[in-house]
Amino acid sequence: MTGRSRIAIGLGVFALFTALLAAIPAAATAGGTFVDDDGSIFESDIEWMATAGITKGCNPPTNTKFCPDDKVTRGQMAAFMRRALSCTLPGKECGALQAIYDEMGGASWTDNTGWNNRSNPCTSFGVECKDGRVVALDLPDNGLTGSVPTEIVDLTELVRLHLADNAIVGSVPVQLITMTTLVQIRMSGNGFTGPVPAGFGSLSALKRFELARNSLTGSIPPDLGSAANLEVLSLTGNELTGQIPSELGVLSKLKFLSLDDNALNGSLPTELGNLTALSELRLKDNDLSGAVPPSLMNLVGAQRIELRGQSGCLTAATQELSDWLTAYDPDWADGCP
């Protein structure tokens, strides 16, 4: 006797047993998450496992794991049952947290307290819940690696996403554009590459959008000017090019605009003078040139304005404007010969 129990059942049968044990109705939608189970008597049970965040294979040819007729090992069965029976959050949210832990190096995080405790994931380090839903992920400077998994979109009540100062790579996840509850997106100090995706301007609740100190390229999406409640926009320290969009000038609630240390070119938009709530305007260390618009003098509440370090030459049409700029930044015209 080896003491081993030999189990040889297919995933479809196991899905049915798991759904019954969890006492959760299986989704009856045909042709949903998967295509390989269409017509199977276990289709609704397999779809339920995906909806509940227990497993999202299989979708051949890209993923051939956990297909309906595959045998389930004892280890896999134990993992699936634990996911199904222990998580107190809605199934998709459990799956999203598990994907974040698995795909972003959770085992090596500086603090991963509670992330293996699916019975009460709301007590996990950096996770905040309200009324049984995840509303915040606060994991700055915590050793996160890899890329943000697509499952993050399943955190449908997420308000605050704070992943700054980690080692996250890949593109800025476009899935965030569909998460309409987001108030804060703070992902500065990582290794994001590629462009800032267009579409974040559709997030009407967004107040903080911070992607500073990454390796982002391309231009600043003009549609950010549609994020009417935006108060903080920080894209400092990337490799952004093109002109500063004039559309940003309609952000009446903007208090902090930081676009310094990029490769932005052209002249400053006159519309920046409409940002009368602004306390800080940081545009230094770019390739800006041309006449500084006199409308900047409308920023009477500004505490800091930084324009120095341009590779181009900034000029002022009047001595009054020159003196006003010098009071904020004595070297504002240091790019001129």
Q: Does residue 2 register a pLDDT over 50? A: no
- pLDDT computed for residue 47 by the predictor: 67
Model confidence over 145-167: pLDDT tens digits?
999 999 999 999 999 999 999 99
pLDDT for 97: 93
Residue 154 has phi, psi (to 5 degrees) of -75, -5
Find the range with the poorest average confidence among 45-49, 139-143, 171-175, 307-311. 45-49
CA–CA separation, 132 and 87 (whole Å): 11
Compute CA distances 187 → 125, 144, 157, 194, whole Å: 18, 11, 19, 14
- Residues 117-328: name the CATH superfamily: Ribonuclease Inhibitor (3.80.10.10)
Question: Which tens digits make up the pLDDT trace of 114-135?
Answer: 997 767 889 999 999 999 999 9
Q: Could you tell me the CA-to-CA distances from 279 to 206, 217, 257 in Å, in that order?
A: 19, 27, 9
Neighbouring residues of 214: CB distance < 8 A, sequence distance ≥ 6: 187, 188, 189, 190, 191, 192, 193, 237, 238
Tens of pLDDT along 270-328? Answer: 999 999 999 999 999 999 999 999 999 999 999 999 999 999 999 999 999 999 999 99
- pLDDT score recorded for residue 273: 97
Portions of the chain given CATH number 3.80.10.10: 117-328
pTM of this prediction? 0.78
Q: How many Cβ atoms are within 10 Å of 116's Cβ, its own excluded?
A: 12
